[in-house]
Structure 1
Amino acid sequence: MVRNDHRIVPDRYIQEHEKRPFLKTQNPTSYEIPIIDFSLLTKRDEDEQKKLDYACKKYGFFQLINHGVVEELIQRMKSAEAACFDLPLEVKKKYAMAENDVQGYGQVFVVSEEQKLDWADIFFLMTYPPQHTTYKNWPLIVPDFKETVEEYSAEICRVSEEILANLSLLMKMKEDGLKELHKVMRLSTRMNYYPPCSKPELVLGLSPHSDSGSITILVQHDDIPGLQIRHQGQWIPIKPLPGAFVVNVGDTLEVWSNGVFKSVEHRAVTNARKARMSIPIFVRPDDEAEIGPVDTMLCDNNGQALYKRIKYIDYVRSYLDRKLEGKITDSLKLPEHVGVAAYGETKRRFGIDGDGDGGGRGRRGLGL
């Protein structure tokens, strides 16, 4: 669509007035989220662990430097992503998401023909571990795509395990505590392409949401800002830091930590002059893993658990059975910690008292 006429902004992509990003009224100054030195975390440096603890409690986001993933591999991954989106539309459609699947090319969280769409295209792939990966929706026509993605995913897995080990210690667990809770740690990769938009103040590249997994590790392209996080009631732009990853807390870690670590709403905005790309990798538990507050974190709330226990797959079903809009972790809270309306939503989503298992998955649609 954009290739045919970049001036067109169809009604389907124009957000309702209250949801528009209002770019012209925002402070252009980027907010400095905490910067964590990965090399110090590997040494279990207590000061750096305190910074990590603070970042996860107060912001839910941080930038990670000295992570050890070589720049050459990062650039290969970025080039592979660019090559995927450069493919002709008729070729990309061959990798389109199936009706009841999130893997492939298109847009996710499309649950009706009336809802507004995000100004973005994506490839969403399950990328780690290799033995649990299927390749039917992978754009293997791109040279060295499979090898690059698998090598990059393995490196992100290494980084993730180290972050989770430090978080485990902060949660008063043994180092491999969080890794064990994952059962089989799985990585999903989403490649995002945000075309330039002639009226960026009317659209969203990615709607506000939090991530369902434990942590997310994002690499941004170039120096084009687009990521924004909700902090103290405002949308704050996060400026790309050369060579750094952006890491954020997901819903699962928030629940495991009994609400101490915060998953935070974030979104992506567009601009009128240049396309933007990014690659988040979502670290998530095995489908059969249980999410619920760990015993060591109950002391932070007078011994009370804020959230119910549930299989991760049931949470994911509810997460996918809706459009991408805000956080839904309140749906996991125990009734004594939420209002009547929120508890009713919990019952509907998760089948308390035998009402079901959270429903099916939303429909998918091709994007720009």
Structure 2
Amino acid sequence: MGLEPKNLESSIPVPSVQELASLKLETVPSRYIRDDMDSIIGTVPSGKTLRVPLIDMAKLIDSESQETELQKFHTACKEWGVFQLINHGVSDESLRNMSKQTQEFFDLPLKEKKRWTQKPGSLEGYGQAFVTSEEQKLEWNDMIFLKALPIEDRNLEIWPENPPKFRESLDRYSQDMRQIAVALTRFMAMGLEIESQELCDAYEEGLYQIRMNYYPPCPQPERVVGLNPHVDIDGFALLLDCGDTPGLQVLKDDHWIFVEPLDGAIVVNMGQITEILSNGLYKAPEHRAVVNKTKERRSIVTFCYPNLSFRVGPAKELIKLGSPPLYKTVTVEEYIGCFFNRKLEVPFIDAMKI
């Protein structure tokens, strides 16, 4: 039996994993044990070094290096659906501040963090996402999820006022992430050879939702998962690793590959809106997070969507080339509604196929 679709829009309260970890348990409670998981260790086929592509935004902008870097960008989007972006134009200060505020928030006493806990019927706030039943296996992480842009979407009741600089840093950071998103959209349009202005405008006025994750050390890391394997439904996600502990893994050629943190780089992960827009040419990859026995890990993920009235469907230029559209065309608002009101047994991208 499928779960009631509306359950996806909120989450049942569950214990703080950070508090559990602080008890220094030798074994993990059974609700976290995942013996159904593939090997947690990233495995690479012998004789092959698989590393997530590295894209340099400065080379994409510079007319002399643009053509070569754009080809690399296009290949990364087609073959991986994920890459690390350097020289993206966001100041180290903005990245450092947001990273520091995230750490300071998770370092607060539990009682204080709970002031910003999720309200019934909403995923926003401090807690866990997508816990829909008391029997469900749990992930080894705590998170706080906030809608950041447009400004009128902000629910300040659950925007932490402690640490004191949290709101100010998040405001600045969300605008910086929007700047990267709009630039990336322009290069995607160039790579796909489609009209860019409408797409850039849609991201300029788009939705930016930020999830800060805390993965505590775990006594049995090989038996839990930090974040379940999934594919993002947004246009793309921008991930900042706060520190050098690897945890993000991407599925590539049936192997889980670690994305090694790179100081100052942003991990760009394609979502299904981009896969649909490119008529299946650019891939939204399956990915997950794993945890560490001795080290904690924090990450900040910005989910980037075009504005609600933007029409998500294969770009008309790609259809004229004689390839039929693989997906329906719907507005972003209808698309998000479709995600929350579907049968859970059907992969979401399949529900969008013609």
TM-score > 0.5 by shorter chain: yes
**Aligned with 1:192 (options 213, 216, 238):** 213
Counterpart of 1:333? 353
From the superposition, tell whether residues 66 and 92 of structure 1 become closer, same or farther in structure 2 (CA, over 3 Å): same
From the superposition, tell whether residues 173 and 20 of structure 1 become closer, same or farther in structure 2 (CA, over 3 Å): closer
Say whether the 8 Å CA contact 2:178–2:203 is kept in structure 1: no
* TM-score, length-scaled by structure 2: 0.87
Shift of 1:33: 1.4
Matched, 1:43 2:45: no
Matched, 1:281 2:302: yes
Distance 1:284 1:42 in 2: 23
**Aligned with 2:53 (options 31, 34, 42):** 34
Counterpart amino acid of residue 289 in structure 2 = A
Distance 1:154 1:295 in 2: 30
* Pairing 1:51-130 to 2, within 5 Å after superposition: 51-130=72-151
From the superposition, tell whether residues 314 and 145 of structure 1 become closer, same or farther in structure 2 (CA, over 3 Å): same
What number of residue pairs does the alignment pair up? 331
Shift of 1:165: 0.7
- Secondary structure in structure 2 of the residue aligned to 1:79: helix
Q: RMSD across aligned C-alpha pairs, in angstroms?
A: 2.3
- Deviation digits for residues 331-357 of structure 1, max 9, x if unmatched? 2111xxxxxxxxxxxxxxxxxxxxxxx
Distance 1:156 1:61 in 2: 16
Shift of 1:317: 3.5
Matched, 1:303 2:326: no
Say whether the 8 Å CA contact 1:139–1:145 is kept in structure 2: yes
Counterpart of 1:235? 256
Say whether the 8 Å CA contact 1:217–1:245 is kept in structure 2: yes
Counterpart of 2:334? 314
**Aligned with 1:18 (options 10, 27, 36):** 36
Stretches of structure 1 that go unaligned for 5 or more consecutive residues are 335-368
Kindly report structure 1 stretches of 4+ aligned residues shifted beyond 4 Å: 27-30, 320-327
**Aligned with 1:290 (options 304, 311, 314):** 311
Say whether the 8 Å CA contact 1:20–1:203 is kept in structure 2: no
Distance 1:294 1:196 in 2: 44
Shift of 1:99: 2.3
Distance 1:72 1:32 in 2: 28
Shift of 1:322: 8.0
Distance 2:60 2:92 in 1: 20
Stretches of structure 2 that go unaligned for 5 or more consecutive residues are 1-19
- Deviation digits for residues 288-316 of structure 1, max 9, x if unmatched? 3321111112256x330001122323332
Shift of 1:42: 2.3
Shift of 1:321: 5.7
Matched, 1:2 2:10: no
Matched, 1:270 2:266: no
* TM-score, length-scaled by structure 1: 0.84
